[in-house]
Amino acid sequence: MNALTGTGTLLRFVLRRDRIRLSVWTLALVGTVAATVPALDEMFATEAQRRSRAALMDTPTGIVFGGPGYGLDDYGLGPMVVNELTMSLLIALAVMNILHVVRHTRAEEESGRAELLRSGAVGPSAQMTAALATAALVDLVIGGLVAATLAGSGLAIADSAAYGLGLALAGIAFGAVAAVCAQVTGYGRGAAGLAFLAVGVLFLFRVVGDMAEPGGNALSWLSPFAWVQQTRVYDDLRWWPLLLYPLLVCLLFAAAYALAGRRDLGAGLVPPRPGPAGAGSLLRGATALHLHQQRGAVIAWAAAVFAFAAAFGTLSSEIDTMLEENPELGAVFLGGTSEVMAGYLGTMVSYTMMAASAYAVVSVLRTRSEESSGRAEAVLATAVSRYRWFGGALVVSALSSTLIVLLGGLGMGIGAAAAVEDSSWIGTMLEAVLAQLPVALLFTALTALVVGAAPRLVPLVWAWFGYSVLATMFGGLLGLDEWLVDLSAFSMLPLLPGGEFEAAPVAVAAAVAVAAAAGGLLGFRRRDLLPV
Amino acid sequence: MTDTVIDARGVVKRFGRFTALDGLDLTVEAGQVAGFLGPNGAGKSTTIRVLLGLLRADAGTVRLLGGDPWKDAVALHRRLAYVPGDVSLWPNMTGGQAIDLLGRLRGGLDPDRREELLARFELDPSKKARTYSKGNRQKVALVAALASDAELLVLDEPTSGLDPLMESVFTRCVLEAKAQGRTVLLSSHILSEVEKLCDTVTIIRRGRTVESGTLEGLRHLTRSTVRASVDGDPSVLSGLDGVHDLSADGNRVSFAVDNDRLGTAVRAVGDLEVRSLVCTPPSLEELFMRHYGDELSALDGSGGERT
């Protein structure tokens, strides 16, 4: 028996287990591309329209979500697709690969299922290999379908192939990052968090590098987010940047296998230390318990959001330079630096809200895992009422997402204030995030409603979250009707700075949140605790 | 304090189309240690969850400590302590933290008793829960429950992960709880443990109560085993009422006899020039097997059922 015995069987098993999950990812990503390409072609039909769109790609917002800006001089359909879609596709691929790899490596060990499998004729490296191989397979399928879609729209075949391959290789690289992170910590959740942090930092490298210099500087080249677009597809195709992916992947794989080979099954790199022999005086009551369980995650999310927000806020300083270099921009925005800055920071507020809302949902969903693990049973068999336990979870979710929102606003404000030496931005950005705060609370409340009243409908919350992200990011691009965009959680409330504050929608959102939370509490009081 | 601590009648609980409890009855009087027996999937844990107000019964009446376990859950839970069958703890908390937390959520626990129990169960409270074995997780829940002042202990297969040494510690703890006047509901597979500890026994099967009463009473309803060495011809015994499974090997004879016919059978054996005689009352295991015996023989057929 060698280290890989059983990989084939496990590979088929992973595909069988995740056939729906992986199909949904594939369809969603390829479908987004297939829908966006004709929409772009239609929306930016004339030369003038394309030129103004290209100018937009030269702004900080354009660089953050567009890329280094190749092909802007002659902005045809190909460069347009690459600039509009690449970052979103890469981020989605990162999420998919990280979740997949952690789910089939560390999470399996943590649950004890890996022990059962490894007791059979299964080699020590088989599980990780199966996880990485299935991730790579799906990445290649997605890359291939994207390439075919683009070539099918009449774009150059070689460039389309390079682009599809680039996406697939980037996905595999993100999976490899997750494989290394899965060796470090003993917890699945921690491994995924670590991988997201690593990928986030790599994303930031590219953004900062691309902002500093058109086409990116050395910092950009450190990031796998950059290499897809560094092939200059549909502009001046060069294949060699794609070679960096196999290089990075081999390095990461070697590290992951080496770390995995040196540790015991189920162990992290840091051995568990003994803890306190008794509970501190603060650990009393259901809310304190929820807080104790989530404090690490809340601190990590809040710190990450603050750091990213501050970094993106600081990038406002580039706006002046860009306006000087590119006078056409001024014409597009009909305003000066502060208008461009307001638009840019408004977009960043939306992303802060996405992060805070995602945490709000994840936080309430923790009650589900408490319930299915039987820990909720142990607590609810004591003198803790259903209202207290579930209500405590809602309070923790609402407070944590509020903290994340405020730190996001503060980070952007401090960053922007430092960048343009105008401290009034701090107050402006705090106002801007506060105007959007009900969105995050709405996600807390809606998740509470489904968990309390209809636990089977939990995927609906994620569906609405996903729709909201897509509609807010691509709604304009896809030419969605206004009411369809308005269905997005992140487009419901006035977006400041730049927008106009209206009290009515904020009040309605807050009222709906309160009603949904109350419905969730009542539902949870009335239903059976789910059998273990 | 009420005399009847648990009074469940005709309890029905369905999960979709599956009927987990189908008219179950369970009565436990104050101060008793009540055994609750049944094979896997018979509905023991479901019954306990109904008693704890974690599940709502579809039909029937359930009274716990004089209250309604669904409506008065919090007030009742102050007076009871529960040890789940499959103890799951918060992985990043130590055992000691979990014990304190559960105790506080219940309304406080006795710190001296906590220390004493930790020592008796040989549990290290400073280890993180994720490093505990199944038995150690069970000890955490046991210490948390036994260190409380609860008047009712609800224990769902509490010894399934304990080694024999710890099992005997557990047995002593339950006997002490009984001596303090507490009531104990003990669901278990381990028949010797039930025989040692329990005043009454309720046996359930497929969500129904098939037998309940004191162990003595139940024994009376069933058969004893008689083994004897005789010089006479044992074949006369086969004609007797209430004698079953007669087998004779030379001058040795063994048979089972209904307890109400025991006297007649022993007299008949006495007439056969008896040289030795052993009469064994039915063990709980035999009681148990009598109710599940046909299920055992059907095992290779249908594959059984589960919850």
| B272 and B127 co-located in one domain | no
Helix axes A126-152, A77-104, angle to 10 degrees: 160
Distance, in Å, from the CA atom of B151 to the CA atom of B144, rounded to the nearest integer, reads: 14
pLDDT tens readout for residues A485-504: 888 999 888 888 877 888 88
Indicate whether B23 and B116 sit together in one domain: yes
pLDDT tens-place string over residues B221-248:
677 888 889 888 888 888 888 888 888 8
A84-98 residue pLDDT tens: 899 999 999 999 999
Give B81→chain A minimum CA distance, Å: 7
Question: Is pLDDT of A299 > 50?
Answer: yes
Same domain, B158 and B13: yes
Binary contact (B54, A186; C-beta < 8 A): no
Do B82 and B201 lie in one domain? The reply is: yes
Cβ neighbours of A239 (radius 10 Å)? 13
Amino acid B78 reads R
Please indicate whether, in this complex, the C-beta atoms of A187 and B54 are within 8 angstroms of each other.
Answer: no
The answer as to whether B67 is a domain residue is yes
pLDDT surpasses 70 at A288:
yes
Q: What CA–CA distance (Å, rounded) separates A371 from A240? A: 51
| Cβ count near A476 (within 10 Å) | 13
Closest to A50 (Cα-Cα) out of A87, A78, A89: A78
pLDDT per residue as tens digits for the range B45-94: 999 999 999 999 999 999 999 999 999 999 999 999 999 988 999 988 99
Select the residue of B87, B104, B127 nearest A284 (Cβ to Cβ): B104
Q: Measured between CB atoms, which of B82, B91, B107 is closest to A381? A: B82
Closest-CA distance of chain A to residue B304, Å: 20
Q: How many CB pairs under 8 A join A and B?
A: 121
Q: How far away is chain A from the Cα of B175, in angstroms, using its nearest Cα?
A: 23
Contacts of B98 (CB under 8 A, 6+ apart): A279, B89, B90, B129, B140, B144
Residue B290 within a domain: no
Query: pLDDT category, A335, cuts 50, 70, 90?
Result: low
Cross-strand partners of B155: B83, B186
A279, A385, A532 ranked by CB distance to B100: nearest: A279
Residue A117 and residue B61: Cα distance in Å, rounded? 45
* Residue A126: C-alpha distances to residues A112, A134, A307 (Å): 16, 12, 37
8 Å CB contact of A383 and B74: yes
Domain boundary, last residue among B193, B215, B237: B215
Inspect the interface and report whether the beta carbons of B102 and A529 lie closer than 8 Å.
no
**Ranges of H-type helices in A44-156:** 47-56, 60-65, 77-104, 106-111, 113-118, 126-152
Give the pLDDT confidence score for residue A50 in this predicted structure.
87
Q: To the nearest whole angstrom, how far is the Cα of B70 from the nearest Cα of chain A?
A: 9
B292 occurs within a structural domain: no
| C-alpha–C-alpha distance, residues B41 and B46, integer Å | 9
From chain A, the residues in CB contact with B56 under 8 A are: 528
Using alpha carbons, select from A321, A492, A349, A352 the residue that is nearest to residue A425. Answer: A349
Q: How far apart are CA A152 and CA B137, in angstroms?
A: 59
pLDDT band at A60 (very low <50, low <70, confident <90, very high): confident
Are residues B54 and A374, on separate chains, in Cβ contact within 8 Å? Answer: no
Which has more pLDDT, B7 or B240?
Answer: B7
Write out chain A residues lying below 8 Å of B46, CB-based. Answer: 531
Name the residue among B91, B97, B102 with its Cβ closest to that of A382. Answer: B102
Which pLDDT tens digit goes with each residue over A431-451?
999 999 999 999 999 999 999
ipTM exceeds 0.85: no
The CATH number of the domain holding residue B271 is 3.30.70.260
Name which of B56, B100, B125 is nearest A528 (Cβ-Cβ).
B56
Q: Does B82 sit within 8 Å of A275, measured CB to CB?
A: no
Beta-carbon-side half-sphere exposure of residue A16 (alpha carbons within 13 Å): 6
In a domain, residue B199? The reply is: yes
Residues in chain A: 532
Q: Kindly state whether residues B267 and B147 are assigned to the same domain.
A: no
Residues B194 and B63 in one domain: yes
Domain boundaries, chain A: 1-270, 284-532
Q: Is residue B295 part of a domain?
A: no
Please indicate, yes or no, whether residues B37 and B148 belong to a single structural domain of this protein. yes
Structure-token pair, residue B247: 């087998």
CB contact under 8 A, A531 and B96: no
- From chain A, the residues in CB contact with B154 under 8 A are 381
Chain A residue whose CA is closest to B100 = A279
From CA B248, how far away is CA A229, in angstroms rounded? 92
Kindly report which listed range (A67-71, A423-427, B145-149) carries the lowest average pLDDT score: A67-71
Query: Tokens standing for A278?
Result: 């008794």
* Structure tokens belonging to residue A277: 């022999």
CB contact residues (below 8 A), chain A span 252-281, against chain B: 272-280
Whether B266 and B188 share a structural domain: no
Same domain? B189 vs B235: no
Higher-scoring residue by pLDDT: B234, A151: A151
- Six token digits for residue A25: 């990812």
3-state secondary structure chain B: CCCEEEEEEEEEEEECCEEEEEEEEEEEECCCEEEEECCCCCCHHHHHHHHCCCCCCCEEEEEECCECCCCCHHHHHCCEEEECCCCCCCCCCEHHHHHHHHHHHHCCCCHHHHHHHHHHCCCCCCCEHHHCCHHHHHHHHHHHHHCCCCCEEEEECCCCCCCHHHHHHHHHHHHHHHHCCCEEEEEECCHHHHHHHCCEEEEEECCEEEEEEEHHHHHHCCEEEEEEEECCCHHHHHHCCCEEEEEEECCEEEEEEEHHHHHHHHHHHHCCCEEEEEEECCCHHHHHHHHHHHHHHHHHHHCCCCC
Whether residues B147 and B208 share a domain: the answer is yes
Per the structure, how many domains does chain B have?
2
Asked if B105 lies within 8 A of A383 by C-beta distance, the reply is yes
What CATH code is carried by the domain that includes residue B149? 3.40.50.300
Q: Are residues B109 and B138 both part of a single domain? A: yes
Secondary element (H or E) of residue A256: helix A244-262
The residue segments making up the domain with residue B189 are: 4-215
Q: Is residue B45 part of a domain?
A: yes
Residues B274 and B135 reside in one and the same domain: no
**Residue A368 near chain B (CB below 8 Å):** no
Beta carbons of B128 and A275 less than 8 Å apart: yes
Q: Per CB distance under 8 Å, which residues of B are interface residues toward A?
A: 15, 46, 49, 52, 54-56, 73-75, 77-78, 80, 82, 84, 86-94, 96-102, 104-107, 124-128, 130-131, 141, 154, 307
User: How far apart are the C-alpha atoms of A433 and A350, rounded to whole Å?
Assistant: 9
